[in-house]
Amino acid sequence: MPDKRPRGYQPQWHPRPGTVELLAAVDQVLARFAAQLPLTIRQAWYALVSDGVMAKEERAYKRLVEVLGMARRSGRIPWEAVRDDTEISTEPAAYASSEDFHEALLAAAGDFRLDRQAGQPVRLETWSETAGMVPQLAAVAGPFGVPVYSGSGFNGLLAKRGAALRAAASGHREVRIFVVSDWDPSGVHLFSALAQDVTAFAAVDAPDTRIVFERLAVTEQQIADHQLPTAATKATDHRSFAGTSTTQAEALPPDVLASVLRAAIGAHRDLDVLAALLEREAEQRTALLRQIQAMGPATGEIG
């Protein structure tokens, strides 16, 4: 039997009245969090739950997945407003001509940055259990030179050993790792297992560096302060858990999460050191641009 689900663009889509109302509510959510786009579908769902538009039920979430799919296929909602996190790709570098390559060099020089954590008393990292939240976190952390890693590596030995090796290579006496994960047995266990394993690797690879793990979100205080939607702990999960209910990290409003991360980074930054580094960075960027502009592209087409 052929699959009759929509494929490709759907410009003729005419949503039902109830769906039109839902899309209007989605528009408000996207406008509210315009600075944090793209949102994951689950983040949008939690915002709609908090707004009283949708029920906190898995069938409601599945409906939103379908509606947002059609809304993007039809052009009703911009593609770039919602993040799917299902694509992993790699593309080989290629250029149409030497002029194209020269323009790429100029663009790269325009993006030139020094290590903005150099000279800081503490080196920082951010780890997110949910891969879809990485771009939002990176938008806050990036200007400070703080890297953000996705939770897909939380259970990977290479990722955890890599954190210890980075600590050793940084030259800092202290590395602080902010963690964003769900408030449930899995998220709490993930946090403790990550901290224990990285610390054990660092005892050998970075013995002179102190590694500190800080749970940035979600916390019980944040759940109470922002009245986040909760669910009962799964009866099948027997891991120790001090909480009385569970909450996913995506339930925390994106703007609140951004503020939490910005404050956490700011608490460990020497702004005078950063300002001096940014000044040197700008000078070196200007010098690079002048050098590349003076070189000019090679003559003739490549290939």
167 CA to centre of own chain: 21
Q: What band does 153 get if pLDDT is binned at 50, 70 and 90?
A: very low
Instruction: Give the CA-trace dihedral at 147, 78, 94, 101, to 10 degrees.
Output: -80
Whether residue 146 contacts residue 137, with contact meaning beta carbons closer than 8 Å, is answered with no
- Is residue 184 within 8 Å of residue 229, measured between CB atoms? no
Q: Which residue has the tokens 């194209």?
A: 100
- Higher-confidence position of 206 and 156: 206
Render pLDDT for 68-122 as a digit per residue (tens, 0 to 9): 999 999 999 999 999 876 667 788 989 999 999 999 999 999 999 999 999 999 9
Do 222 and 252 meet the contact criterion of CB atoms below 8 Å apart? yes
**pLDDT (tens digit, 9 = 90+) per residue, 241-276?**
777 789 999 999 999 999 999 999 999 999 999 999
When the pLDDT of each residue in the chain is averaged and rounded to a whole number, the result is 91
Q: Which of 101-110, 167-176, 190-199, 208-217 has the lowest mean pLDDT?
A: 190-199
Question: Crossing angle of helices 185-205/157-170, nearest 10°?
Answer: 50
Q: Is 88 left (phi over 0), alpha (psi -120 to 50) or beta?
A: beta
In percent, how much of the chain has pLDDT > 90?
Answer: 77
The sign one gets for the Cα dihedral 74, 77, 78, 84 is negative
Element (DSSP H or E) covering residue 66: helix 58-74
Beta bridge partners of 215: 179
pLDDT for position 302: 42
Q: Which two tokens stand for residue 192?
A: 């403790």
Total residue count of the chain as it appears in this document: 303
**pLDDT above 90 for 38:** yes
